[in-house]
Amino acid sequence: MPTHHFLIAGSILACAAAAQIPCRETNLGTRIALGDDAFSAAVPLGFTFTYGGVGYTDVQVCSNGYVVLGNGVPGAADYSPTVYELVNNPVARIAVLWADLSPQLAGSGGVWVRAVPASGSTPAYFALTYDACYQYATTVPVTAQLLLVDGGEMQFYYGEDVRNCESSWVVGASPGNGATVNPTDFATLPIATSGNATLHHNGRNALSERMADQVFRWTPDGIGGYIVTNGPGCAENLPYGSGCVARYASFYEHFANTTSFDLSNAALSAQMAGNGYIVTQGLTAFVPPSGSAVNLGLADDAETIVTLSQPLLYPGGNTSIVTVCSNGFVSTGSNGTGYQPDEAALLARANPSWNVWHDFNISATGVDNVYFEEQNGIAYFTWSNCHGYQGTAQGPVPSTFQFQFELATGTFHIVFQGMDTSSLSGYTGGDGYLVGWSPGGFANDPGNADLSTVATGAAILRVDAVDGVPLGLKASARPVIGTTVQLVMTDLTPTAPFGGLIYGFTRYTPGVSLSTFGMPGCFQYNNQLAVLLVVPVGASTVSVPFTVPNVPGVVLQAQAVLYDPAAGLTPLGATASRGVALQLGN
């Protein structure tokens, strides 16, 4: 396929007049010798960096992806990232990628530091780079870079390889000492903390594709907090919208922190429809366990088998036996007793499951446990006044919720009462909730739903019987001026005679519906100024090279389309990908 160039007429968007620091520091400086779970000695910054109203001239670097500010006692070199520890640490901590790393291993890229003095319009800055550092007990690398800038700015950069993260992680900063939690999502910008110096995003396994190979600039807001944006003048590739035709057999919402849970006293109903589910606002009320309800006597991180009076229908099958885990899920068979709510683990489970997955601290001898009973063909499973964790102790606030399964129809309901929205677990990956359903078996990821909009009646979800992957589009790298990146069309159907890449400069958000053109569920995401023909010849993936011209600041919008009437996915026979915004820069 020929290289595709663009001649840009008219004015060029100017780069932002922020501090002229590099988007990524390629001169890494000096490698520091760090063992596993170790701190460096105090490393001078070369200037005074102000954070949380305090000036610091040194940092101490931890092998596990963060620094503590100052030269005092740094505490343990913690390999178990939790928000609880971040906000309660006795010294301020900045975590570019707090995870269990092993930079000391042979072949690992190592940890590097460089203090850069001011020069011309470029202020002094300090660069800390975890360069292709292996994760613990693996040879799988991750790359992250932190820049601290004289004047108070910070910059985080993540390599493409963070998609391969295989452990729990925390990204963010906090002065510690009991700071107020402030959960956010770096995949959604801008972020404004409104005077709060604490900001954190936590998860498990791969970081979002909107973080991989991306630059994040933290600019002081003047009142003690930050505004986080993509790096001014930095090249970015940012996917948005959704491709068609997407079909997903799962749905979920992952609340990364207990404090972000927003379904207290709400309810969801999922009615069987065409061997899938239609998920709506709750249609039933909470039913308190009767005197005949059975206390299942579950211990912490335990499971038990319950036999139903008749088979329970579910998409793809039925079962008369279910397995109940103390950590908030019911399955058609054992899925283990994991206490770390995680999307990838949910989708990969061996057996279908219904979930309010959380690390509950349940005692086998307590009345605060899980109760089971059947009434009128409905099986009720109630987590009654079950506590989570505050640190490593029992949390102070109990949670109560109930699964209701209509055995004959397969419809199920999740009814929430008061839920713990304040405790922070001290166990890595144990914080937060994951609510939803999946057939498991490495099901496709539908992405995080906003179930509060469903619970209030503002939206419904359709869950299909089987997964169907939409036409995809992604850029192979950031569009740095003078380089060539690949625009990669993915998941093409094999009988497509042709397709194309559509380019424009105007982004449509939300997209323009293409239903009237015979493409229901598909959207147009740019103003379509140019089209490049693609002939896939049966390939499932096609890469189109794009040489990035020297027009910094210009944002090019791209979208893929495919014509394949034999696939029968839309009446017109065409499908479309999501949009990708390519911001040309450094």
Burial status of residue 490 (CB atoms within 10 A of its CB: 0-12, 13-18, 19 or more): middle
Backbone angles phi, psi at 565, to 5 degrees: -60, -25
User: Which stretches does DSSP call E strand in 392-494?
Assistant: 393-406, 412-416, 433-438, 461-463, 472-475, 484-490
Work out whether strand 317-325 and strand 303-314 pair parallel, antiparallel, or are unpaired. antiparallel
pTM: 0.83
Amino acid at 326: S
Please give the chain's pLDDT, 586 residues, in tens: 333 333 222 222 222 333 479 999 999 999 999 999 999 999 999 999 999 999 999 999 999 999 999 998 898 899 999 999 999 999 999 999 999 999 999 999 999 999 999 999 999 999 999 999 999 999 999 999 999 999 999 999 999 999 989 889 999 999 999 999 999 999 889 999 999 999 999 998 888 878 899 999 999 999 999 999 999 999 999 999 999 998 999 999 999 989 999 999 999 999 999 889 999 999 999 999 999 999 999 999 999 999 999 999 999 999 999 999 999 999 999 999 999 999 999 999 999 999 999 999 998 777 889 999 999 999 999 999 999 999 999 999 999 999 999 999 999 999 999 999 999 999 988 889 999 999 999 999 999 999 999 999 999 999 999 999 999 999 999 999 999 999 999 999 999 999 999 999 999 999 999 999 999 999 999 999 999 999 999 999 999 999 999 999 999 999 999 999 999 999 999 999 999 999 999 9
**Four-way CATH pick for 238-243+469-583: 3.40.50.300, 2.60.40.1930, 3.10.290.10, 3.50.50.60:** 2.60.40.1930
Among 102, 90, 27, CA closest to 65: 102
Among 483, 474, 579, 558, CA closest to 24: 483
C-alpha span between 272 and 575 (Å, rounded):
27
Instruction: Count CA atoms within 13 Å of residue 553 on its CB side.
Output: 8
Q: Are 540 and 487 in contact (CB under 8 A)?
A: no
Vertex 511: Cα angle to 506 and 514 (nearest 5): 115
